[in-house]
Amino acid sequence: MAGNELTFNDNEFIVSKTDTAGKITYGNELFISMSGYTEDELLHAPHNILRHPDMPASVFKMLWKRINDKEEVFAYVINKTKENDYYWVFAHVTPSFDSRGNIIGFHSVRRKPNREALSVIQPLYRSMLSAEKIGGMAAGEKKLTAALDQMKVNYDEFILSL
């Protein structure tokens, strides 16, 4: 893999917020320093500024569906920094609501993932990614569904068991 892996401490959290379209509206200090960008470069930028090519598109599709359906979602994500380094996170992404229950934005709090979890996630993502390269998004989703079916768990059970 290109670039160096960056890490952070177990007791640290990488936090960002977006508007409803996924443009960054806030990042904590660690979010900014890990990214390699300045706060000015990050604010109002689409969150895919950190997108790493090893992430299957179908993971983000599922993530957006969940949060637009007013649900929370957990996901393992590899991010790419401005210098083309990378770092893995375990993200908890949630919608934020106004007093009427309308979505006004999204919030992600990320912890350091454990290595055993990544040893399960990395081969899964690799297989989803190669399926997507041949059969597009639907093929990636199918890989994930097949893996979950084989383990007889749903996505949440799987992701929270790692």
Ligand X SMILES: Cc1cc2nc3c(=O)[nH]c(=O)nc-3n(C[C@H](O)[C@H](O)[C@H](O)COP(=O)(O)O)c2cc1C
CB nearer to ligand X: give 57 or 153: 57
In the complex, what is the shortest distance from the CB of residue 20 to ligand X, in angstroms, rounded to a whole number? 9
CB 84 within 8 A of CB 3: yes
Residue nearest to ligand X as judged by C-beta position: 48
Residue whose CB is less far from ligand X, 29 or 149:
29
For the CB of residue 18, give the shortest distance to ligand X in the complex, in Å. Answer: 4
Strands 86-97 and 24-27: unpaired
Q: Which is nearer to ligand X, 51 or 142 (CB)?
A: 51
Is the Cβ of residue 47 or residue 143 nearer to ligand X in the bound state?
47
Smallest gap from Cβ 108 to ligand X, in A, equals: 4
Can you tell me the distance from the alpha carbon of 127 to that of 122, in angstroms, rounded to the nearest whole number? 9
Least spacing, CB of residue 105 vs ligand X, in Å: 8
Q: In what order do the strands lie in the sheet with 73-80?
A: 24-27, 14-18, 103-111, 86-97, 73-80
CB of 17 to ligand X, least distance (A): 6
Residue with tokens 């375990």: 90
Comparing CB distances to ligand X, the nearer of 106 and 158 is 106
Rounded-to-integer distance, Cα 120 and Cα 90, Å? 13
Q: Interface with ligand X by CB under 6 A: which residues?
A: 16, 18, 22, 47-48, 50-51, 55, 57, 60, 77, 79, 93, 106-108
